[in-house]
Amino acid sequence: MIAMQLLINSLIAGAIYALVASGFSLIYSTTKIIHFAHGAIIAISAYFLYFLYSILGLNFGFAVILTIIFSAIAGYFSDFLIYKPLRKRKASSIMLLIASVALLILIESIILILFGADVKTIGFIKIAKGIEIFSAIITPLQIFIIVSSIALLLFLFIFMKKTKIGKAMRAVADNKEIAEVVGISSEKIFAYAFIIGSFIAGIASILVGLEQNIEPMMGTNLMIKGFTGAIIGGIGNVPGAILGSFLLGFAENFGIWFLPSGYKDAIAFIILLIFLLFKPEEILGIKKESKK
């Protein structure tokens, strides 16, 4: 059944995009920074895992933990070194956006110099035999990716609703000034947002690195998809971003039923453009609220 296979492929793609979009969206909702370099954080973390596991030969579990820590630290420093000084001198959002694109290119170029342009495989999981579900094929890793993506959604939901940091992050997202009046340091919360968002990026880097080959420009590609997912779901809304990512996965995989498969990536770009051009209210709505 082609439809069943496409359905499963959509779920896998959607889960990967959701992993990218959720961290990105979490950072955006709190800081209002369109952190494109989030994609590059995922890419460099995947290379970090490759370096630890495939080159140094570290124990896989240990390498995974170090990778997630590395990712969170890298995210923290991108805020501390780039965005924080820009915020301090009240840079406009467009300057932050350009800075994030520059940071994305910077990190990707560093990867290119350190590891070269050729694709690498982490190769922890030997090519596993797919399991057949209704005559469609899915590998155990792919099931794991889908499950972790859903688990992450639940974790984020609970984290934002129940924990002190999560509540503070929502308060800052709602209204920075009032949050500061009641004693929440917005700078501290911004740092938390980058650390937690990049922690998710670390998890994404591991799952993507196991499922696909890694290459220096993977960050841009993942970011466009994750960003499109986030835009579809309403950019500052984490559950929305995850849902949007799954919708994008479906649109891409069912889209190539009608279009040549080379256009798979173009589908995301076109959806992104349409949403930005014709449905800006949803995105703008969030902005208005933050300005109140």
Partner 1 sequence: MIEAYLMHLAILIFIYLLLAISLQISMGFTGLFNLGHIAFYCIGAYVSALLALNGFPFWLSFISAGISALVFGFFIALPTNKLKDDYLALATLAFTFVIYAIALNWTSLTRGPLGLPGIPRPSLFGISFSSNLSFLFLTAFVTLASLFIIKRIVDSPFGKVLEAIRDDETAARVLGKNVFKMKSYALAISAFFAGIAGSLYAYYITFIDPSSFTLLQLIPVLTIVIIGGLASLKGTIIATILIVLLPEPLRFIGFPSSIVGPMRQIIYALILLLILIYKPKGFYGKVELG
Binding site for partner 1 (CB under 8 A): 34, 82, 85-86, 89, 91-95, 97-99, 101-106, 108-110, 112-113, 116-117, 220, 224, 260, 262-263, 265-266, 269-270, 272-273, 276-278, 280, 283-284
* Cβ nearer to partner 1, comparing 224 with 251: 224
* Cβ nearer to partner 1, comparing 139 with 290: 290
In whole angstroms, what is the distance from residue 219 CA to residue 106 CA?
12
The distance of closest approach from Cβ of residue 255 to partner 1 in the complex, given in angstroms and rounded to an integer, is 13
The distance of closest approach from Cβ of residue 91 to partner 1 in the complex, given in angstroms and rounded to an integer, is 7
* Cβ nearer to partner 1, comparing 79 with 108: 108
The distance of closest approach from Cβ of residue 155 to partner 1 in the complex, given in angstroms and rounded to an integer, is 28
* Cβ nearer to partner 1, comparing 188 with 279: 279
The distance of closest approach from Cβ of residue 105 to partner 1 in the complex, given in angstroms and rounded to an integer, is 5
136, β-bridge pairs: 133
What single-letter DSSP state applies at residue 120?
A: B
The answer to whether the beta carbons of residues 275 and 54 sit under 8 Å apart is: no
C-alpha dist (Å) from residue 71 to 40, 217, 234:
10, 17, 25
* Cβ nearer to partner 1, comparing 140 with 280: 280
The distance of closest approach from Cβ of residue 35 to partner 1 in the complex, given in angstroms and rounded to an integer, is 12
Q: Which amino acid is at 155?
A: F
The distance of closest approach from Cβ of residue 32 to partner 1 in the complex, given in angstroms and rounded to an integer, is 9
* Cβ nearer to partner 1, comparing 132 with 265: 265
Q: Angle between the 280-291 and 164-174 helix axes, to the nearest 10 degrees?
A: 100
- Burial letters for 165-197: b for 16+ Cβ neighbours within 10 Å, e otherwise? ebebbebbbeebeebeeeebebeebbbbbbbbb
Beta strands 136-138 and 131-133 are antiparallel
Which two tokens mark 180? 């500061």
